[in-house]
Amino acid sequence: MSYTEVPGARVPIRMWADPAAVEPVAMQQLRNVSTLPWIEGLAVMPDVHFGKGATVGSVIAMRGAVCPAAVGVDIGCGMSAVKTSLTANDLPGDLSRLRSRVEAAIPVGFAMHDDPVDPRRLHGLPTAGWDDFWGRFDGVAEAVKFRQGRALRQMGTLGGGNHFCEFCIDGQGSVWLMLHSGSRNIGKELAEYHIGRARKLSHNQNLVDRDLAVFLAGTPEMAAYRHDLFWAQEYARHNREIMMALYKDVVRREFAKANVTFEPVISCHHNYVAEETYEGVDLLVTRKGAIRAGGGEYGIIPGSMGTGSYIVRGLGNEASFNSASHGAGRRMSRNAAKKRFSEQDLAEQTRGVECRKDRGVVDEIPAAYKPIEQVMEQQRDLVEVVAKLKQVVCVKG
Catalytic residues: 326
Question: Which of 331, 328, 327 has its CA nearest to residue 368?
Answer: 331
Q: Distance between CA atoms of 249 and 393, rounded to whole angstroms?
A: 17
Q: Distance between CA atoms of 61 and 74, rounded to whole angstroms?
A: 19
Question: Which of 150, 157, 195, 197 has its CA nearest to residue 179?
Answer: 157
Question: Which of 140, 134, 102, 98 has its CA nearest to residue 118?
Answer: 134
Q: Where are the alpha helices (DSSP H) in 89-129?
A: 96-105
First to last CA, the chain: 35
Q: Distance between CA atoms of 215 and 38, rounded to whole angstroms?
A: 10
Strands 354-355, 323-325: pairing is unpaired
b/e map 131-159, b = 16+ CB within 10 Å = eeebeebeebeeebeebeeebbbbbbbbb
Q: Distance between CA atoms of 80 and 237, rounded to whole angstroms?
A: 9
Please report, to the nearest 10 degrees, the dihedral formed by the alpha carbons of residues 249, 250, 255, 260 taken in order. Answer: -30
Strands 309-314, 323-325: pairing is unpaired
Identify residue 237 by its one-letter amino acid code: R
Q: DSSP string covering 8-29, please?
A: T-SS-EEESS-GGGS-HHHHHH
Neighbours of 253 (CB within 10 A): 11
CA distances from 386 to 89, 134, 178, 300, 311 (A): 22, 36, 15, 10, 5
CA distances from 204 to 36, 177, 196, 197, 215 (A): 10, 44, 12, 11, 9
Q: Where are the alpha helices (DSSP H) in the chain?
A: 24-34, 96-105, 130-135, 148-154, 184-199, 220-254, 334-340, 343-349, 372-377
